Structure 1
Amino acid sequence: MKKKILISHRIPEEPLKILESDFELIWPDNDTFSNEELSALIPECEVVVSVFGNPLDSRLIEAASKLKLIANYGAGTDNIDVEKATQLGIVVTNTPDTVTEPTAELAMGLIIDVARRISEFDRGLRAKKITDWGVLQNWGTTLRDKTLGIVGLGAIGKALAKRALAFGMKVIYHNRHKLEPHIEEQYEARFTDLENLLRNADFVSLNVPLTPETKSLISFPELKLMKPSAFLINTSRGAVINQEALIEVLKKKEIAGAALDVFANEPNVPDELIYMDNVVLVPHVGSATHETRKEMSKQVASVIADFFQGMKGLPVVNPQVWNSENLRFKAEGAS
């Protein structure tokens, strides 16, 4: 009997067809399964392909008595109760490498957009609200010689730093731990604490995963540190920012603007943000390119195949699970 793979959301199908000889793939009829459908199907499945924005909570994981692998379609795994999965001996993987370049591209695009007021001017021209094209009108902010503060100089942060250097920007960064000197030299990046970064950066880009430590990492006190001429860019997770605090600071023009790919309660976007001219909004599209989404499906398929062949080097989010006495893959002798 074939092992069952439950795919919680419609993703590009073609790359996963390589699994059909050994697995039964269960796809939703529409865009996604309802919670009721997931609850009914998950007890019979050994793999779940989860998707960001679609929670896989402790209740669902506990109901999945045969589950060995959660293969997340995306880099961030805040949609999964990883702690519960680890307790039950379930391996959790993600697709980190594929999203790096497109997310950095988007972050750079948002920086350019909000700095040069591209979306604002586009809206104004279409609505025939911009009539004065004079030399002293419609100014933006140039990037050359400006300081980009990257909060989270991981893979995406490094890819963004490379792009910023090409625009003649200076790079400072804040991580939990200072990087090795040769890495800092490669990206011409200077380490600093978060407070100093916020005080000195002309653009602040958030590139951290959502964890208990990073939830509301940027709130009223942090926003108050930023320069009135500074811009905030977020391509990580919406909850990294206290959204109400950001709205208040933007209303008072205490920072120059923001560009946001992610929001606290997606897909809902507060009206206050929608009607602000100095805010650029996009619908969580960091990895949303034709090439990337297909590559993500390909990586998920490869992870599943390699996992059941006992291969190493998988992008495991909870590596401590391998040493667990409850490890289901080991206990049941799957291969």
Structure 2
Amino acid sequence: MKKVFVSRPIFPDVIERLKQYFEVDAHDGPALPADKIAERLADKDGAFIAGDPVGAKAIEGAPNLKVVSNMAVGYNNFDMQAFNAHGVLGTNTPDVLNETTADFGWALMMATARRITESEHYLRAGKWQEWSYDAFTGSDIHGSTLGVIGMGRIGQALARRARGFNMRVIYHNRSRVAPEIETELNAEYASKEDLLKRADHVVLVVPYSRESHHTIGATELTLMKPSATLTNIARGGIVDDAALIDALRRGQIAAAGLDVFEGEPNFNRDFLTLTNVVLTPHIASASEATRRAMANLAADNLIAGLGEGPRAGNPPNPINPDVLKK
């Protein structure tokens, strides 16, 4: 039987699915560092990875490796240049998490705008003694302007939600979406600079790459309204976290909601000194149904990519499909 490595604890029934086809080496503990992952991959034909780094050294040290299946949409944890050079197929899990992630992005934006976390901490600390007209006054979502940076599937799902709140929607993307999508979403294309100046609530939904690194930095934050909020459900590194902390501290923008961070799970601890930021630990896709769908899709990709199961040789979500032709 072919050998596969599973990098994180995952649903037992998914492990059992993999065991129908492979000899499974399943890690059942905290996340492994890159060098330990490389060691476990050395004799494997495939891997089920949950966002862990798979770099050139790991690929070069695993001569039998053919498929690495990522239980995520983003794949900046993969060195795709090394994958292509060694004929290793990478796969991901798009689409199954779109609506759940959009739900969470909306919740995070609303919690940020309405100061939910800050007011809850106030209540829990026993500070609530009386009503005050200006206690925790935030900003409205309804009737405001939503700025979406990254109008892919999740960005479009966010824009659909905006209709129920009577919001104006402006968006920026590497390229404009089709006219019929703009019409459906009642969304207006704008330059990044124009969007930042006009939006009351900016939500980031762009994939991470060298080009998108620090899409929002000190310069961009100066363009935003002092009353505006920034929500990041994309990837750490899209925002310059140090610049954002400075902007929040100085009141340059009103508040931020962050599900992702540079260097996570490590992050800039100065965020913890701020009251005008809502922080969550990369959980935008974390509903039971969606995480199961992601895990099963990642398993489908691995099984098919290694030539097994009903879709043998035809995995649903190849990142670099050209290697299948070699």
Q: Which aligned pairs between 1:244-283 and structure 2 lie closer than 5 A?
A: 244-283=242-281
Partner residue, 2:297: 299
The residue identity in structure 2 corresponding to 1:284 is H
The residue identity in structure 2 corresponding to 1:51 is A
Separation (CA, whole Å) in 1 of partners of 2:313 and 2:215: 37
1:155 positional shift: 0.9
Are 1:318 and 2:320 matched, yes or no?
Answer: yes
Deviates more, 1:208-217 or 1:262-271: 262-271
Separation (CA, whole Å) in 2 of partners of 1:86 and 1:302: 21
Partner residue, 1:49: 48
1:30 positional shift: 1.8
Partner residue, 2:173: 175
Find 1:215's aligned residue among 213, 216, 232: 213
Task: State how many pairs are aligned.
Answer: 322
Q: Retained in 2: the 8 A contact 1:108–1:164?
A: no
Are 1:191 and 2:189 matched, yes or no?
Answer: yes
Partner residue, 2:89: 91
1:273 positional shift: 1.2
- TM-score, with length taken from structure 1: 0.92
Separation (CA, whole Å) in 2 of partners of 1:57 and 1:254: 38
Q: Retained in 2: the 8 A contact 1:10–1:32?
A: no
Find 2:129's aligned residue among 109, 125, 131: 131
The residue identity in structure 2 corresponding to 1:275 is T
Partner residue, 2:198: 200
Are 1:70 and 2:72 matched, yes or no?
Answer: no
Structure 2, unaligned runs of 5 or more: none
Q: Retained in 2: the 8 A contact 1:42–1:60?
A: yes
Q: Retained in 1: the 8 A contact 2:5–2:26?
A: yes
Partner residue, 2:21: 22
1:97 positional shift: 1.5
Identity %: 36
Are 1:40 and 2:39 matched, yes or no?
Answer: yes
Separation (CA, whole Å) in 2 of partners of 1:184 and 1:103: 21
Find 2:114's aligned residue among 108, 116, 126: 116
Find 2:229's aligned residue among 212, 231, 237: 231
The residue identity in structure 2 corresponding to 1:315 is N
Q: Deviations over 1:110-153 (max 9, x none)?
A: 11101111111100011122334123433221111111100001
Secondary structure at the residue paired with 1:239?
coil
Separation (CA, whole Å) in 2 of partners of 1:300 and 1:12: 12
Are 1:289 and 2:291 matched, yes or no?
Answer: no
Separation (CA, whole Å) in 2 of partners of 1:35 and 1:143: 42
Q: Deviations over 1:31-78 (max 9, x none)?
A: 3445454333312111111111x2111111111111111100111101
Secondary structure at the residue paired with 1:238?
coil
Secondary structure at the residue paired with 2:97?
helix
Partner residue, 2:12: 13
Q: Retained in 1: the 8 A contact 2:111–2:117?
A: yes
Secondary structure at the residue paired with 2:302?
helix
1:297 positional shift: 1.3
Secondary structure at the residue paired with 2:96?
helix
Distance 1:51 1:129, change over 3 A: same
The residue identity in structure 1 corresponding to 2:44 is C
Separation (CA, whole Å) in 1 of partners of 2:191 and 2:72: 29
The residue identity in structure 2 corresponding to 1:7 is V
Separation (CA, whole Å) in 1 of partners of 2:87 and 2:315: 18
The root-mean-square deviation of aligned C-alpha atoms, in Å, is 1.6
- TM-score, with length taken from structure 2: 0.94
